Each structure stands twice: as structure tokens, then as C-alpha cells.
Amino acid sequence: MTRPRVILASASPRRRELLTLVGIEHEVRPANIDESYLTGETPAQHAERLAREKAAAVNAPNAVTIGSDTIVVVDGDVLGKPRDRAQAAEMLRRLSGRAHVVMTGVAVHWQGVLSSGLEEVGVTFRVLTGDEIERYIDTGEPMDKAGAYGIQGYGATIVERVDGDYFAVMGLPLNRLARMLREMGLGYAFGPVTAD
């Protein structure tokens, strides 16, 4: 079977790690798209639309392109990447001791067909002290992540519960992605993507 090239339309090191984890060889070509909200767009619609736009934006004939976008939602508000230390602390204080939702959109583009889906995961933080928040920010981990935390790093010590796909919280829902690849005739089982 032929193995089509796989392109990840994201600069996220977490997404690269996850594709490697399941044996999908890939190259990285971050998509340059406008990530602004559209009027009336819900957080879920936004995450899935951005995943679709990222996957479609990479012009690579005969390659499978994967796009993904992750957002953190609490009380209906979207928490993006913090712009500075003060905003990271504000986000972490807001998430402390309570539940929020992580939404990750994922899309696959292959030979003119674009498939997408969305994973919604409930995440609960334990109660954080002010000192813990400051020390966590000192690690630098919160600064390039939606909601100011990463579940796979130091952030693992502040997450009390995950209801749903852990990998979606990291930034790429692997189960849904594998299913989408199979449904598109790309024969994913275990190991590299193969065209049937």
C-alpha cells in the first residue's frame, strides 16, 4: 500500500508528540490563518472551523493534512493563551477548584475531501493557592497554552479529574482522528497512515 505524506498544519509540539506516539510519520507546516471569531459563532463552532481552515490552508497535493484547534471554556467565556503573567494568574485563579470544558476541533483534508469533528472534555482543577499559581507560572508552561495550563506537564499536578479524551486536552483527539482517517479510506490501524 502507498503511504501518503502526512502534514500537520500546526506548530504545536504537543500535537507533533501525539502523532509520533501513534506511529504517524509527518512533517510540520503551520497554517497561517485568521483566528478571529465570526459574529454569532459559538466556541464549539469556532474550534471546529479553525481546525478545518488549518487543514485546508496547506496546499499539498497528494498529502493528508491534519488541522486542530483547542480552546478552554469556563462560564461561557473562552480562555485563550495568556498575553502576560498577570493574565495567566487571573485565568488560573478562575479555574481553581472548579470544572471547565476543553474543546478540540480536528480536521483531515485528503484529495479534496475535508472531514472534521469536535471533542468536548470536562476538566476539574483542585483548589490552588496563590503561591502555587505563582510557582506554576514560574515554570513558563502556562504562557503558550489555552487556559494557561498544559495537562501533560507540571499542569498534571493541578488537574483533579478529566471526563473524556485526555489527548484532546493535550490538543489532538487521537481516537477521533484515527476513526476519521479510517472513514476517509486512509487505513489507519496502528502505525503509519496507508491509502487503501
Residue with cell 487521537: 174
Choice among 69, 84, 144, 165 that is catalytic: 69
Q: What is the CA radius of gyration of the chain?
A: 17
63-74 and 77-79 beta bridge pairing: antiparallel
Name the grid cell of 15. Answer: 500535537
Least Cα distance to 100 among 124, 132, 127 occurs for 124
Instruction: Answer yes or no: are the C-beta atoms of 193 and 5 closer than 8 Å.
Output: no
69 in active site = yes
Instruction: Answer yes or no: are the C-beta atoms of 193 and 64 closer than 8 Å.
Output: yes
Instruction: Name beta bridge partners: 67.
Output: 107
CA distance 98 to 158: 11
CA dihedral 49, 107, 114, 187 (to 10 degrees): -170
Catalytic annotation, residues: 69
